[in-house]
């Protein structure tokens, strides 16, 4: 049984090889993405014992994705093959300033048909950590139900529940996305979100106040991912630490936040203190942003340690 499992939506990634709008780009590089897929693959590359729960289509992308999981050392026993629905995909295009834009082909995907019946209680309860996200809740009602069921099983079993808000306004209105977020937070032990997530969900409420609200009155960690400004961590003990980012030549931030979350959770599983977990996660995110694509540039543990050692 894997130590760390994730549940959610994998996507085939089509990354433009030149800048310009989608209609003008002629050549794309195929990779992989999807926030929880990014997370579990980053954790595996860092040396974690990982598994993934999802559905993929019985198509070339679905077959290739499962093969890639297995090659990466991720347990794919809980990846269901769906003969009726396609594997989702997305296109990444870039402006001259390297700002990226995402266009998705995910409606009706196999992952959006993930349902409670796909959750193996023993598989979830046997893990040390379950990771889920707000995107998985937002792509369909059945997927949202499956995510919350898995989180409930994990909580009851004493499995650590990690949750990333990853708010996407295109997937729902503010009230729905906030309801999803708060329902998941009630079951989570570690909550990740960005400044943009906090601002969308709670308006002008200061980020620190949002973290206070998340932590509440039960044992919980709240982690704000601040990109080039590092991260801000708050615990239920009242400890709050702001950790600066590592300076690298950032090329593409796609998937960097998901890799950050994987690094943070895995570092905690290795008994790191909060500050050290934040430094490690910042390094994972920075190195991921140093290359193109969500998964291809994800670093190994050795590469992370080299950055931390050489950069001081």
Active-site residues, by number, are 258
What is the C-alpha separation between 139 and 109, in angstroms, rounded?
9
Instruction: Read off the tokens for 165.
Output: 């808000």
Residues 103, 191, 79, 118: what is their CA dihedral angle, to the nearest 10 degrees? -110
**Sheet holding 231-235: strands in order across?**
74-82, 50-57, 4-7, 129-133, 160-164, 190-194, 221-225, 231-235, 240-243
Planar angle of CA 307, 190, 234, nearest 5 degrees: 75
Phi, psi of 152 (to 5 degrees): -65, -45
What is the C-alpha separation between 40 and 62, in angstroms, rounded?
17
Tell me 113's DSSP state: G
Q: What are the residues whose beta carbons fall under 8 Å from the beta carbon of 155, sequence distance 6 or more?
A: 161, 187
């Amino acid at each position: 049984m894997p130590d760390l499992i994730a549940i959610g939506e994998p996507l085939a990634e089509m990354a433009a090889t030149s800048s310009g709008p989608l209609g003008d780009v002629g050549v794309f590089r195929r990779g992989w993405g999807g926030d929880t897929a990014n997370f579990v693959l980053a954790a595996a590359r860092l040396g974690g014992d990982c598994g993934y729960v999802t559905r993929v289509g019985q198509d070339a992308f679905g077959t290739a994705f499962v093969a890639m999981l297995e090659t990466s050392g991720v347990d794919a026993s809980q990846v269901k093959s769906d003969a009726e629905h396609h594997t989702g995909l997305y296109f990444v295009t870039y402006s001259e300033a390297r700002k990226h834009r995402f266009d998705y082909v995910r409606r009706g995907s196999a992952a959006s048909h993930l349902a409670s019946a796909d959750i193996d209680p023993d598989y979830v309860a046997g893990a040390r950590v379950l990771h889920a996200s707000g995107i998985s809740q937002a792509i369909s009602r059945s997927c949202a139900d499956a995510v919350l069921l898995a989180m409930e099983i994990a909580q009851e079993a004493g499995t650590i529940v990690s949750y990333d808000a990853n708010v996407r306004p295109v997937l729902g209105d503010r009230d729905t996305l906030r309801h999803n977020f708060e329902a998941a937070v009630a079951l989570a032990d570690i909550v990740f979100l960005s400044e943009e997530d906090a601002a969308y969900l709670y308006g002008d409420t200061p980020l620190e106040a949002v973290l206070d609200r998340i932590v509440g009155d039960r044992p919980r960690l709240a982690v704000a991912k601040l990109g080039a400004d590092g991260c801000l961590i708050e615990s239920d003990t009242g400890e709050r630490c702001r950790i600066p980012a590592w300076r690298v030549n950032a090329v593409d931030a796609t998937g960097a936040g998901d890799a950050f979350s994987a690094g943070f959770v895995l570092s905690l599983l290795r008994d790191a203190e909060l500050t050290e977990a934040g430094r490690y996660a910042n390094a994972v995110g920075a190195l991921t942003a140093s290359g193109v694509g969500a998964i291809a540039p994800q670093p190994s543990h050795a590469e992370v340690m080299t950055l931390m050692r050489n950069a001081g």
